[in-house]
Amino acid sequence: MAANPFDWSGYFQLAEELAKRQDEASIRSALSRAYYYVYHLALQRARDNGFSTLPGEGTHRQLWRNYSGSPEPDCQTLAEIAARLKEKRERADYQQQMYNRIADEIPGMLADARDFTDRLQRLNPRHPKPASVRH
| The pLDDT value given to residue 97 | 72
pLDDT (0 to 100) of residue 99:
65
R_g of the chain, CA atoms, integer Å? 15
Which pLDDT belongs to residue 76? 97
**Cα separation, 50 vs 94, whole angstroms:** 32
Q: CB neighbours (10 Å) of residue 79? A: 20
| CA dihedral sign, ordered 123, 9, 105, 99 | negative
Rounded to an integer, the average pLDDT of 75-96 is 92
pTM: 0.91
Domain boundaries, the chain: 34-132
d(CA 113, CA 60): 16
> How high is the pLDDT of residue 130?
84
Amino acid identity at 73:
P
pLDDT tens string 21-42: 989 899 999 999 999 999 999 9
